[in-house]
Amino acid sequence: MAEQMIELNVTGMHCNNCALSIHKLLEKKGFQNIFVDFASEEVKFSTTDDSVLPEVIKNIEGLGFKVVDDLNLNNEHFYEKVENKFLFSLFFTIPLLLHMVLPWHFFHNPIVQLILCLPVFILGCMHFGKSAYNSIKGGVPNMDVLIFVGSSSAFIYSLIGTIQNLGPDYLFYETCATIITLVLLGNAFEKRSVSQTTSAVKDLVKIQQVTANRILNGETEIISARDVRPGDILQVNQGDKVPVDGDVLSGDAAIDESMLTGESIPVEKTKYSTVIGGTIVQHGNIRMIATKVGSNTVLSQIIELMKKAQSAKPPVQKLGDKVAAIFVPVVIGVALLTFGLSYWLFDVSFQKALMHAIAVLVISCPCAMGLATPTAVMVGLGRAAKNGILIKGGDTIEAIANTKYVVFDKTGTLTTGKFRIQEIKTEIDDIEKIRGLIFSIEERSNHPIAQSLVRELKSLPLKKVILKSVTEQKGLGMRAEDIEGNNYFLGSGLKSNKADNGADFNLFLYQNQQLLAQISIEDEIKPDAKELITQLKKMNIIPVLLSGDRKSKCIQVADAIGITEIHAEKLPEQKLSIIDLYKQKGKTVMIGDGINDAPALTQADVGVSMNDASQVAIQSARVILLNTDLHSVVKFLQISKHTLITIKQNLFWAFAYNIVAIPMAAIGLLNPMLGAFAMAFSDVVVIGNSLRLKGKKLR
């Protein structure tokens, strides 16, 4: 039976340890390719037997989480919202705290304090106790174990003091209530902040949720974009969002494609133009035919790429995950040791020793470690996506750090890919036949040279040739056969002695191995190429030109923009070995756009592809630049660098906080209430630092 990917939406996860407990459960059951993300509330795994799904859902819900069909339709009940739980607790906690500063004897009564604390404690048991029990059952004790043990210790100790009437020294009801209230406040902050870090994907999903005007038998009906099928005729008016990908049948419109490319200038669309779902019609109106719908649209693929990118953990995160997994048992051990040493060795009173131990439990926070990396990665990926840069993996961000070489393909990357024919030198008198052969062969290719030649030849007199088959050879050219059995080759890869091998001619057309024509073409350098190379050099990155084109053409482009390292006339397999050589000397990024670049894009530490590249190149690359503006390359390097800096800052603060806070709590410098506040604050600091990346000035 074929392996298939199962995707579940799971609510109730609020830290990395929650995700780890589900991960461990699925691992024990022997599933593969497991991905659990608490921030996006997604669980994925692959299996060959989907009949086990009901049992898996039952087991996940047995851990205290909830599996839902659609996160957008999952409305939490009033009493389930963490914000409402916090407000409920606060209502009872404020009077408990007031008795410490106000001389109202009524609040000093142990029974009154018990009555005020009890609702908060019960809520804490339901919220933290249930999660703590389920996490221990799952084999990965989470943060809630520490909160539950700490608050319960304070409550039980106070309850014994109340029953035995031992006096005010034995009453710590306000400690129990304040711990629960402050941690709920931290959870509320965390929930709001995490939802902001995942906003990039949520924004894209919202773009998909539109209606479409379908034309059926001359009548217009309004349907959801989800119900559009390939071949449907749709009317899109000014101000509407294009519902799905398709081709324009009639009409003219200026369409804002900034959500896809980051380019703010609207693009003019006329008959036969391609339009993309989610883009907005600013002026005019069009009638279109749907070509790609559902998960096949460009927008759906972008959303899927973003989700996959968030799931790929950078190596730096694995350290945080390992620490978080063993953290809770270690902290419980430290708390017990603190109590033992304080009470028996340093002769501290039982109450103080207990408060020290509770403070250790409450102040320890593996949540900050678990949040450190995913929040920064999500904000970084979101910022990149808004700049028209799609990054296929969170681990790509770390792979790009300390880049030493950026290797460029020439055609379509550093140059516009729009070619002009300078000259056609023919061996026969029939120029229209030669043009017709070139046109018929090249219209079957999506290489930038081929597309430019087809565009130019379309307007000239030519005799089209009916071809039986056309195949593309990576790095060489095109082979074709006509209905009469003649074989043709058009490309730069084969040259006979009859060919003029000077710098003037780059393409050669053969019929049955006899030279028919030599074609001289010129390509225009992108206006921002020189500035890009200058910026890379300022960043101490060495630019390299690696092309299958002729040496003279490569030198001409390299000299114009300032590249000194040139490798010309290279076939795909030769490009691979050159990338390997650079990888041995330092981190190497390859930027290309053609089929012949695909192996090199895969081989490089990070492959970057242009949006107008071949589908093979896009699939081979780990980064796709939706905007053909070369400034995107620098923007991508800057976003990656600053995301990694943010991750390291987050991990530093998370570790430093615990290294300083736990010993301070153990020696009695922090009481449990202050500890609960500091713990909530540590999460907010880490998430706040990640969110800073949204608007941070990149240098």
**Could you give the residue numbers annotated as active site?**
409
- Residue 304 C-alpha from the chain's centroid: 9
**71 CB-contact burial (10 Å; exposed 0-12 / middle 13-18 / buried 19+):** middle
Which tokens belong to 649? 């800052």
DSSP output for 373-418: HHHHHHHHHHHHHHTTEEES-HHHHHHTTTEEEEEE-IIIIIEEEE
What SS3 class is residue 513?
coil
Cα–Cα distance, 517 to 424 (Å, whole number): 7
The residues that bridge with 471 in the sheet, in sequence order, are: 479
8-state DSSP, 77: P
Q: Are 69 and 83 in contact (CB under 8 A)?
A: no
- Nearest-10 crossing angle of helices 173-197, 199-208: 50
The residues that bridge with 212 in the sheet, in sequence order, are: 223
Q: Are 561 and 430 in contact (CB under 8 A)?
A: no
Which tokens belong to 278? 């989610």
Q: Are 434 and 426 in contact (CB under 8 A)?
A: yes
Q: Which long-range contacts (CB under 8 A, 24 or more apart) does 207-212 make?
A: 207/241, 207/259, 207/278, 207/299, 208/277, 208/278, 208/297, 208/299, 208/300, 208/303, 210/240, 210/241, 210/243, 210/278, 211/243, 212/243, 212/244
184 Cβ contact list (under 8 Å, min separation 6):
82, 85, 86, 89, 127
Taking alpha carbons only, the member of 250, 277, 280 closest to residue 267 is: 280
Taking alpha carbons only, the member of 16, 3, 6 closest to residue 56 is: 6
Cα–Cα distance, 472 to 485 (Å, whole number): 18
CA gyration radius, the chain: 32
* DSSP-based helix, strand, coil % in the chain, nearest 5: 55, 20, 25
H-assigned helices in 315-365: 315-340, 350-363
Taking alpha carbons only, the member of 504, 503, 507 closest to residue 516 is: 507
